[in-house]
Amino acid sequence: MLVPMRAILEAADHYGYGQGAFNMNGDCQVEAAVRIHEILRSGAILQGAEASNGFMGGAADFMHASAEEKRLGARRIGDQVKRHAGDSPIPVCLHLDHGKSLEMVQACIDGGYTSVMIDGSSLPYEDNVALTREAVKLAHPYGVSVEGELGVLAGVEDHVFSATSTYTNPLQAIDFFKKTGCDALAISYGTMHGPNKGKNAKIRREIAIATKECMMHEGIRGFLVSHGSSTVPQEYVQQINEMGGQLENAYGIDVNQLADVTRCGINKINVDTDIRLACTRNIMEMFEKHPEMQKSEAIGPVWEKLKAQPKNVDPRNYVQAIMATVIDGSGDKGDVRCVTDCMRTAVMEAIAPLLVQFGSYRKSHLIEAVTCEQMVDRYKKEGI
């Protein structure tokens, strides 16, 4: 069933485990993600970022998708999640990742998302507060949860590059929760987006501890989120490079540090890059093992594009030839199926170990089966 993110994070917080949140860019990925969460009996948070919504709306140039394409994509992902997870025994949340505008928030709510992020972290503090407050006012009447962000992660965040990070100030985080009424907050504490987090990146766990401690003192029942948390498995990098890739300085966050912060107040852990890497490795492997596929009319162009971009790990940049299948599942057979099956396997193998290491496996029964409709009254009662 579909639930708001608040229900999933309440269980994670109460029972002391971390909940992974995984970015989706294709019908086959949604299908596989739901399946692996079901097998491991974990609640699921599936995410669509602004660019994913654009891509899923059919924009090959997904970085510059129009509002209309994003709106269509949001509805398409919403429908897919309902189709693959509507009758699932596990609670599943569909969450907007790094939403930038109230327009995008509304489009996602209309499309069936049960949670949204509004990312005002690049704005001056008071403007971030005002924007996030507006998003809460928009989303809570639908029972939809809201995540905000405070502090700046180094690296590429939503395609805006920042050379240095500004760590989250725990006291300001308290003020932010109080003024906005948001359910969850992404903090900056040493992680970064993308595959180049630096060798031995160190999480400043004390920022999470201090923030959560202050929240408890102030009676704030909110959750903390760790973005940029891919682990960048080194064998993925090595195998991609052995097959012609050119990934340099690709290092992630040590998974032991992530498991540790689940005990320091972090409730949600965002992972996207690991899935991209696994897809790219698997698709390259398939073309190497089956060279006849390199000449296939249907998927040969995927191989050509993949080969031409040895530094790229994002499947959206090379699957254009089978775009229709990726975005809506149509025509998923024959040679095309060889690629989508690589993506299914990739999603499962990237996610499965993290569900175990973050501790959410075998916990789905602990999550309250509450709908967004039922959340509406709770928010009203609490006046948020």
Q: Per rule CB under 6 A, is residue 147 in the interface with ligand 13P?
A: no
Binding mask 158-187 for ligand G3H (x = CB under 6 A): x-----------------------------
Q: Smallest distance, Å, CB 65 to ligand 13P?
A: 17
Is 188 a binder of ligand 13P (CB under 6 A)?
no
- Please report where in the chains the tokens 């170990």 appear, as a residue: 353
> Annotated catalytic, 97?
yes
* Of 163 and 217, CB closest to ligand G3H: 163
Among residues 2, 3, 49, 74, the one that binds ligand G3H under rule CB under 6 A: 49
In the complex, minimum distance from the CB of residue 33 to ligand 13P, in angstroms, rounded to a whole number: 14
Nearer to ligand 13P, 115 or 273 (CB): 273
The helix or strand, by DSSP H or E, that contains position 162, with its residue range, turns out to be strand 160-162
Q: Measured from the CB of residue 49, what is the shortest distance to Zn ion in angstroms?
A: 8
Q: Among 230, 280, 360, 364, which residue sits at the site for ligand 13P (rule: CB under 6 A)?
A: 230
Nearer to ligand G3H, 273 or 296 (CB): 273
Token pair listed for 137: 């006012």
| Per-residue binding letters, 20-39, with ligand 13P (x by CB under 6 A) | ---x----------------
- Find, among 384, 373, 378, the residue nearest to 109 by Cα: 373
Residues 266-305 close enough to bind ligand 13P by CB under 6 A: 270-273
Helix (H) or strand (E) holding 160: strand 160-162
Among 97, 119, 183, 314, the one annotated catalytic: 97
CA–chain centroid gap for 302, Å, is 25
d(CA 116, CA 110): 12
Kindly give the residue spans of alpha helices, DSSP state H, lying in the chain: 5-15, 27-39, 50-56, 67-85, 102-111, 125-139, 170-180, 205-218, 234-242, 255-261, 273-289, 300-308, 323-328, 334-358, 372-382
Stretch that binds ligand G3H, among 2-10, 47-55, 132-140, 210-218 (CB under 6 A): 47-55
Q: Out of ligand G3H, ligand 13P, Zn ion, none, which partner does residue 281 contact, by CB within 5 to 8 A per kind?
A: none
Kindly state the smallest distance separating residue 342's Cβ from ligand G3H, in Å: 19
Select 193 or 281, whichever has its Cβ closest to ligand G3H: 193
Which of 150, 27, 22, 140 is CA-nearest to residue 92? 22
Residues that bind Zn ion (CB under 5 A): 227, 270
Choice between 42 and 270, CB closer to Zn ion: 270
The CA angle 309-315-321, to the nearest 5 degrees, is 85
Footprint of ligand 13P on 343-372 (CB under 6 A): none
Distances (CA, A) of 219 to 149, 174, 212, 309, 379: 20, 10, 10, 50, 16
115 near 78, Cβ under 8 Å? Answer: no
Kindly state whether residue 193 participates in binding ligand G3H, applying the rule CB under 6 A: yes
52 binds ligand G3H (CB under 6 A): yes
Dihedral sign (CA 360, 229, 243, 293): positive
Per-residue x/- track, 10-29, ligand G3H (CB under 6 A): -------------x------
Minimum distance, C-beta of residue 45 to Zn ion, in the bound complex (Å): 13
Residue 185, sorted as left (phi over 0), alpha (psi -120 to 50) or beta, turns out to be: beta
Which residues are paired to 298 by β-bridges?
A: none
Total residues contacting ligand G3H (rule CB under 6 A)? 9
Smaller CB separation from ligand 13P, 49 or 322: 49
- DSSP-assigned letters across all residues of 325-361: HHHH-TT--HHHHHHHHHHHHHHHHHHHHHHHHHT-T
Contact partner at residue 230 from ligand 13P, Zn ion, ligand G3H, none, CB < 5 to 8 Å by partner kind:
ligand 13P
DSSP string, 204-256: -HHHHHHHHHHHHHHT---EEEE-S-----HHHHHHHHHTT----S-B---HH
The answer to whether residues 128 and 146 touch, using CB atoms and an 8 Å cutoff, is no
Among 170, 190, 194, 265, binds ligand 13P (CB under 6 A): 194
Where along the sequence are the contacts to ligand G3H (CB under 6 A)?
Answer: 23, 49, 51-52, 97-98, 158, 193, 272
Where along the sequence are the contacts to ligand 13P (CB under 6 A)?
Answer: 23, 97-98, 193-194, 227-230, 270-273
**Residues acting as catalytic residues:** 97
